[in-house]
Amino acid sequence: MTIIKEENKEIKQKVDELEQVAKLESLRFYAVQESGKKDLKKIVGNIVTSKLEVEHVIIRECYRIGKNSGSKPRVVMVKFENQESLQQEKTKKLEDCYQRESYKK
């Protein structure tokens, strides 16, 4: 019986580790209005391209979490297909911004 308990504990730890990695690969979007049947991927894609100024966005998964309370919109979890290129592009934009600011003296 103790062997089963130990194996169960190990499996729970592995599942927890996998969930943590999955969370790191996701971005959370807050205050995205719930608009009924409109395509959530399209709405989030528009936010990313317009507000974050990132082009060529490919969304792998996009869904809301939590219960719909009606008082405020639920959080949107998003996983991007091209997450590494998005990160590189945003990092480059931040570096460009920093370089411009540091040379303004």
Give burial (CB, 10 Å; 0-12/13-18/19+) of 36.
exposed
- 96 pLDDT more than 70: no
Q: Quick one: three-class SS letters along the chain? A: CHHHHHHHHHHHHHHHHHHHHHHHCCEEECCCCCCCCCCHHHHHHHHHHHHCCCCCCCEEEEEEECCCCCCCCCEEEEEECCHHHHHHHHHHHHHHHHHHHHCCC
Mean pLDDT on 41-58: 82
* pLDDT of the residue at 64: 92
Reported pTM: 0.60
Q: Give the pLDDT confidence of 59-79 residue by residue, as tens digits.
A: 888 999 888 887 889 999 888
